[in-house]
Chains A and B, each alone.
Chain A
């Protein structure tokens, strides 16, 4: 009897732990945008972005700031090196690739390191 209740308690603990990990990280990280090639320069290039956002949200934000229309080409890179998956979170990218406390996002109107 004790074993059965112990087992379900264990499953409960697992689900409770999952809930804890599902909580969205409300902290913000500094993203620094850097234009590459002919891409227009932004007036302000440091922004605080919520860490739990997906990279897709960063791309959309950048498109809006640049006044890009749907279909206008925009390529984004981290550290002049690679394009992250759009569903990766800002938090994950920051933890792995931040430089001097910033996540550096390069943007270009043509494919550069593609």
Chain B
């Protein structure tokens, strides 16, 4: 067991926790986009519409929301597709989106989550091949009337979306620190600014405020004098008597805000401590093995080395499922605290979408 722990400590000193790389991964998350094809339901297209142009294509930010796309879609429909009478009778509060397979799309889910959730639901459909769908846009059907309010749960307005977003930010805050003090101590202008940053897709505006509530991955500041041991790194285990853990650090949170999405549901959420009881970082694999042991069976350890096999490999366990975070196939050894600080969505949540491997060999 001690060698296991020691291996993890070496893993600690990766370049992934420097301020520069934190900013890089936050930037990559922020700049991620999704190709969308938005087609007005042909049955609902008003008379005299220019058919053949009823599709709108957009590269939408992962961290954005469908209600924030409505102004540009409306502009397109009014300018290009509809005649004047139809344009005037447009009621945006009746709009709603549906996926190709007929599921209403939630207003309050980030667009990147809608896409990843669609990707994993394809992973259990027999017809689709897992290599071809990535290149095609996500096809959405836009309905202009009769929204199924019981399934959408929110009105399509940007204001309702903002309220839901703020709720998610506060819930994430509560998960991390056991209170929403950090969020509620933001001035009103900052609270509004964080949403404006998403609306305008402005990384700097968003992070100017978000950095006040999101944990850091920077090395501990309060470690002085600098320890001489080469094994010491930025994130000492809490048992280390000489080290004061960084109050705002990713590894000091009570729990990382994480939700796991399975194909066609359910969504699972539980407390996810950043460190395990032995002080080693909680990894994605460890978390998935605990939460979904049937899909992520624990990896048995390698047999002890012998003269014939000085470097024995652990036995191969068939891989049933894979995790996507921000659309990225995420390495098993990714640390939950790091994911929470660098790959969370704009609402503070790490969304892990789990897909199934098809009939192919590992």
Task: List residues of chain A with CB under 8 Å of any chain B CB.
Answer: 3-4, 6-8, 10-11, 13-18, 20-22, 56, 78-79, 81-89, 92-93, 95-97, 113-114
Other A-B pairs beyond A78-B171, A82-B174, A85-B167, 18, CB < 8 Å: A3-B361, A7-B359, A10-B318, A10-B320, A14-B295, A17-B292, A17-B321, A21-B294, A22-B264, A56-B153, A82-B173, A84-B171, A85-B164, A86-B154, A89-B266, A92-B267, A96-B255, A113-B170
Q: Which residues of B contact A113 (CB under 8 A)?
A: 170, 180, 184
Contact A15 B124 (CB under 8 A): yes
Contact A83 B294 (CB under 8 A): no
Contact A21 B262 (CB under 8 A): yes
Query: Complex formed: what's the CA distance from A88 to B172 in Å?
Result: 13
Contact of A89 among B124, B184, B267 (CB under 8 A): B267
Interface residue SS majority, chain B: loop
Contact B320 A14 (CB under 8 A): yes
Contact A81 B292 (CB under 8 A): no
A84 CB to closest chain B CB, in angstroms? 6
Contact A7 B164 (CB under 8 A): no
The total of interchain contacts (Cβ-Cβ below 8 angstroms) comes to: 104
Query: Complex formed: what's the CA distance from A40 to B135 in Å?
Result: 54
Query: Complex formed: what's the CA distance from A3 to B316 in Å?
Result: 14
Query: Closest B-chain residue to A54, C-beta based?
Result: B153
A98 CB to closest chain B CB, in angstroms? 10
Contact B175 A96 (CB under 8 A): yes
Task: List residues of chain B with CB under 8 Å of any chain A CB.
Answer: 106, 108, 124, 153-154, 163-164, 166-168, 170-171, 173-175, 179-180, 184, 255, 259, 262-271, 292, 294-295, 318-321, 356-361
Q: Which residues of B contact A16 (CB under 8 A)?
A: 294
Query: Closest B-chain residue to A24, C-beta based?
Result: B266
A97 CB to closest chain B CB, in angstroms? 7
Contact of B179 among A78, A81, A87 (CB under 8 A): A81
Query: Complex formed: what's the CA distance from A86 to B109 in Å?
Result: 12
Query: Complex formed: what's the CA distance from A83 to B271 in Å?
Result: 18
Q: Which residues of A contact B292 (CB under 8 A)?
A: 17, 21
Contact B268 A81 (CB under 8 A): no
Across the A-B interface, give the 4 residue pairs with the lowest CB-CB distance, nearest first. Answer: A82-B170, A17-B294, A92-B269, A14-B356
Query: Complex formed: what's the CA distance from A56 to B294 in Å?
Result: 29
Q: Which residues of B contact A3 (CB under 8 A)?
A: 361
Query: Complex formed: what's the CA distance from A89 to B267 in Å?
Result: 8
Q: List 11 A-B contacts (CB under 8 A).
A: A10-B359, A13-B318, A18-B262, A21-B292, A21-B294, A56-B153, A88-B269, A92-B269, A92-B270, A96-B271, A114-B166
